[in-house]
Structure 1
């Protein structure tokens, strides 16, 4: 009998999958940018754009062109001088590298508001991720249709993963339930988890976790907004202070006004005397 992990890959794709990214030694930072390039390239492809320069593609992806060219060198794609990159070929290259040329069954655990929204998100299927099952711990949710699928109870979790050859799980449960759900997913054979629960999961080596916390992103935006507001208030206060000084005449006085009369006379008497110690014209 085949090992379970190998059997699961064959069920899902018809062949054993060997991740190209790790065997080629592509840096994780580059892997994280590949979906950005793919999104920009897909938009170009939909507009029937045949080629794109590194500068244009970098701008569309929000990176600098030197970094883009370095990233593409890991894929063995260097473009053509004066022409740029072939859009369709790059779409294929990046899709292959990300494993998107095959079907990936996914389960979503936790069908509350967020889980239901994820179930209805069309971007999963467009990128090769097929939602195989929707799972929830609430018995009242069992059998209810969400996004055209009947929600199944968590009692069926292990069987669902086994039957569908699932290796990717999405957790959209409350924070308190997320760790236990992750442990059950991993025990059933899931090796990659997308975690939307506002908590940090503890997983064994060999299990990949990507965390999405919307509240953290909003807090970061709030920090930047507060800083911008503070800078704006400081600038307004400085401008108001300068305006008040000009209106009341309390601004900086001319340099001559700050020199006492005796000092001005002494300074005048030294004009033309390079030594500065003896007046230029001696008194009679």
Structure 2
């Protein structure tokens, strides 16, 4: 399996499949068809089969997929059948919300340390985490075996936070700050900008509700 050839959209759909399969298992459903998966995930059955074919042969003809086996296989493929230790930099409103986010821990993404450069925040305890000076990130990363960094700083401080993470040896960063950051090629950065999602949604609503304007243009 060459994961570099797997489309990002497929990986994103896999995460949706995980959520659905967990719901089905919770309802004691042991088998699910590709048609059922497709309907629930709003894709066509052929797309389901194509996605799953990237990492193995699944399903029994005339029966469907065994939900528990398929869930375990997808979780292993995605790398979420283990615990990932995370460190958060920037303990503002969003940072505090993430520190209290129980579903992250339940999914296996455990925030084990919180950092900030504000001297008035250092030493404060939030959701069981004592806020530590960001300059100690490298020291704490080694001690706590952190692999993923979460940036929730203001935009003008995001690059500095990223620099500390790169220096500490992080290979994966989620940037919640609404700005782009620059890191070496061997460091993966994913961006979560709520404003962009709202803009995209506004576009979809605008053009869905005004089809006649679009047609006559």
Aligned-pair RMSD on alpha carbons?
1.9
Matched, 1:57 2:57: no
Q: 1:62/1:155 Cα in 2 relative to 1: closer, same or farther (>3 Å)?
A: same
- Per the TM alignment, residue 191 of structure 1 is displaced from its structure 2 partner at its CA by 0.5
- Per the TM alignment, residue 154 of structure 1 is displaced from its structure 2 partner at its CA by 1.1
1:195: which partner in 2? 175
1:145: which partner in 2? 125
Cα deviation, 1:85-128, whole Å, max 9, x if unaligned, reads 00000111011111122221000111111111111111211111
- Per the TM alignment, residue 48 of structure 1 is displaced from its structure 2 partner at its CA by 1.2
1:101: which partner in 2? 81
Cα deviation, 1:167-209, whole Å, max 9, x if unaligned, reads 2101111111111111110111100011100011112111111
Structure with higher Rg: it is 1
Is the Cα–Cα contact under 8 Å of residues 112 and 129 in structure 2 kept in the other structure? no
Is the Cα–Cα contact under 8 Å of residues 109 and 135 in structure 1 kept in the other structure? yes
Distance 1:144 1:61 in 2: 42
Is the Cα–Cα contact under 8 Å of residues 58 and 70 in structure 2 kept in the other structure? no
Match of 1:151, SS state, is strand
Is the Cα–Cα contact under 8 Å of residues 135 and 164 in structure 2 kept in the other structure? no
1:107-146 maps to which residues of 2 (within 5 A)? 107-146=87-126
Equivalent of 1:219 in 175, 182, 199: 199
Larger strand fraction of residues: 2
The number of equivalent residue pairs is: 213
Is the Cα–Cα contact under 8 Å of residues 136 and 152 in structure 1 kept in the other structure? yes
Distance 1:40 1:177 in 2: 37
1:160: which partner in 2? 140
Cα deviation, 1:202-239, whole Å, max 9, x if unaligned, reads 1211111111100111112222333345458x6xxxxx
Q: Which runs of 4+ in 1 moved over 6 A?
A: none
Distance 1:62 1:132 in 2: 36
Normalised to the residue count of structure 1, the TM-score between the two structures is 0.70
Task: Give unpaired runs (5+ residues) of structure 1.
Answer: 1-19, 235-284
2:61: which partner in 1? 81
Cα deviation, 1:67-91, whole Å, max 9, x if unaligned, reads 1101111121330122110000011
Match of 1:169, SS state, is strand
